Chains A and B, each alone.
Chain A
Amino acid sequence: MTNLLILQGLNGLQAGILLFLVAAGLTLVFGVMDVINLAHGAQYMVGTYLAAAFTGLTGSFLAGLALAVPATLIFGLAVEFLVIRRLYDRSHLDQVLVTFGLMLMLNEGVRMIWGAGPISVEMPGALSGSIPVWGKLRYPVYRLAILGAGLAVAVGLWWAINRTRTGMLLRAGATNRAMVSALGTDINRLFLLVFGAGAMLAGFAGAMMVPVVSAEPDMGDTVLILTFVVIVIGGIGSIRGAFVAALLVGLVDTLGRSFGPILLRSLLPPDAAGQAGRTLAPMLIYILMALILALRPAGLFPVKR
């Protein structure tokens, strides 16, 4: 039981840290630029496909990853330049519609280029296999590597936002956009940078996941919805909130799916427990979100404006 708890706990943390990478971009784009981007999940998908494609070209997953990350940055910059730029002074409804259309195009574009079937990538040799983490319990090295890389990016992001000049402008922009612009900062360049960085973080999360999940069209949709839950729970625009909420959602989702049925079995007859477990497990994070919002409508870490 303890082993299962540790195993699923690690799985939950790993899922959470990936969610954080995707959520960070979405919450920044909303917090600083006031743009809601439904195509953000598609950027995660683009990351997985680019990593798969570059791995196929170079024959090495690490080289593929190294090429895919800057490529997702360039892709994000292009999307901002061509489409998102036109949405800054539009209503949220217009933003929803345009980015929804964009998401349809990206999903279909991927299907046209790479086909509808899943594309898998072999795990790099050095990172396959597992190591002992607790007594006899072993855990896959690659999943630990994802956890470590995700945490490193989270620390880097915290540093960039709290300790650099650009990060300072970014925080200022989130509080009062007009004032930052009036003080002589090129707000359009700042926005371009934020959107590109957000796309790159999502793309990086996707690229890291290729050996585990394989690339598929529409795979970004599920990620997008989970990310929405994360940033709503965390408080839209708050990186710290996104971090806490991402880990919370990752853990609740993973542990709920594995321990929910076990707990229910001690309360209900096996048949009823099975059906209730299957029904409740996927709904758990939405129930969590509803509970948190009922108590704190602006999320756990509301951003003051």
Chain B
Amino acid sequence: MIGSDRAMLILLAVVAVLPPVLSALGEPFLTVILSRALIFATAALSLDLILGFGAMVSFGHAAYLGIGAYAAGILAANGLTGLEVQVPVALAAAGVFALVTGAISLRTSGVHFIMITLAFGQMAFFLMTSLSAYGGDDGQALAAPSTLFGIAVFDGAARFFYATLAVLALAWLGLRTITRSRFGRVLAGTREDPARMQAMGFSPFGYRLTAYVISGMVAALAGVLLANHAAYISPSYMSWARSGELIAMVALGGMGTLTGPVLGALAFVLAEEALAKLTTHWRLPFGAAVVLAVLFTRGGLMGALSRTRGRK
């Protein structure tokens, strides 16, 4: 885990110096793409808490991105642009949705859990498409960018970039603390052997549900950023394909490592952008890459990283 921490710090440091470098190279637009990658890294990080540490394969995680985005969008449309209002509302909405759907979903396990979370994700998706006051199927433009106590913290590509980087760093620190606490160790214990944890006097349900709620809330935070990044809110943020992409980011990056999902998300978004530049049919090589990566590699990017370090 020490290696994982160092990798994360190096990664954050490298990413932090990129915007001035990129504008010096005459590619300022790459900063915008990088911001998008950082937002998905935060969402993937939140998914790792339940997927990697809790062994809960949630196929509805994009719903929380959408809830965060719509919280920001709906409040902004009603004149409330302050993050001091938007973030608590987004967290509360995501928390309530996670609490209710999680309590039902966690009665099941395995494939049932995958399918139920998927169905709840779709339910949230259809809820948003029915909101005709906020764009319905098509979504609508964000009325105004979010501010923090009246300060335009998201103004300009560079400022937005550092704001997303700060959120990612905070989410990483927070989740790192949680996974190393007693709570986190019990959670990991329920992943390894729920029956034994129960015999020791822990009820897995409460721990799992708590992790599920925390994970949803962090993803909603990423959703607030996503709405500001695109300056648009759309039901497509919560499509089930997006949930699948988030799982792929976590699994291909390296589950249960926190650093891995961040790497996975960066690689995923950048590869998506690069392929989309080459061909409109980028999903074909992209899908093939996912298939081959899962069939022929183990442990994801972090696994590959620790193997090369081990060989030294």
Contacts and interface: CB of A to CB of B under 8 A. Distances in A.
A94 B107 CA distance: 23
Interface in A68-126: 83, 86, 92-94, 96-98, 100-105, 107-109, 111-112
Contacts of B104: 290, 293-294
A54 B51 CA distance: 44
B116 A100 contact: no
Contacts of A231: 115
Contacts of B287: 100-105, 108
A38 B111 CA distance: 12
Contact of B111 (A92, A105, A112, A283): A92
A81 to B, nearest CB: 14
A105 B291 contact: yes
Contact of A278 (B115, B132, B248, B295): B132
Interface string B230-266: 0000000000110010011001100000000000000
A202 interface: no
A289 B111 contact: no
Interface core residue of B107, B241, B287 (most chain A CB under 10 Å): B287
Contacts of A270: none
Nearest to A227: B115
Contacts of B115: 228-229, 231-232, 236
Nearest to A102: B291
B63 to A, nearest CB: 12
Task: Report the interface size class on chain A.
Answer: 35 or more
A275 B248 CA distance: 36
Given A108-B283, A221-B240, A286 B120 contact: yes
Interface string B268-312: 000000000000011110111111001100000000000000000
A111 B132 contact: no
B150 interface: no
Contact of A96 (B57, B108, B132, B295): B57
B152 interface: no
Interface in A268-291: 275, 278-279, 282-283, 286-287, 289-290
B118 interface: yes
B123 interface: yes
B59 A96 contact: yes
B290 A98 contact: yes
Nearest to B243: A100
Contacts of B101: 290
Nearest to A282: B126
A92 B107 CA distance: 18
A232 B110 CA distance: 12
B210 interface: no
Given A96-B59, A228-B119, A283-B127, A236 B284 contact: no
B159 interface: no
A299 B207 CA distance: 25
A117 to B, nearest CB: 14
Given A104-B283, A236-B111, A92 B288 contact: no
Contacts, number: 126
Contact of A100 (B108, B131, B132, B248): B248
A104 B104 CA distance: 30
Nearest to A116: B280
A297 B282 CA distance: 39
Contacts of B291: 83, 98, 101-102, 105
A101 B290 contact: yes
Contact of A97 (B111, B126, B251, B288): B251
A289 B119 contact: yes
B281 A100 contact: no
B114 A96 contact: yes
Contacts of A83: 291, 295
Interface core residue of A94, A97, A289, A290 (most chain B CB under 10 Å): A97
B294 A98 contact: yes
Contacts of B244: 38, 96-97, 100
A284 to B, nearest CB: 10
Contacts of A96: 57, 59, 114, 244, 247
Nearest to A105: B287
A101 B110 contact: no
Interface of A: 30, 36, 38, 83, 86, 92-94, 96-98, 100-105, 107-109, 111-112, 221, 225, 228-229, 231-232, 236, 275, 278-279, 282-283, 286-287, 289-290, 293-294, 297-298
20 contacts: A93-B57, A96-B57, A97-B248, A97-B251, A97-B252, A101-B287, A101-B288, A101-B289, A105-B283, A112-B281, A112-B284, A225-B118, A225-B119, A225-B122, A225-B240, A229-B115, A229-B119, A279-B127, A279-B131, A298-B112
Interface of B: 51, 57, 59, 101, 104, 107-108, 110-112, 114-116, 118-120, 122-123, 126-127, 129-132, 240-241, 244, 247-248, 251-252, 281-284, 286-291, 294-295
Given A97-B244, A278-B130, A283-B126, 8 more contacts: A86-B295, A96-B59, A97-B294, A232-B112, A279-B127, A286-B122, A293-B108, A297-B107
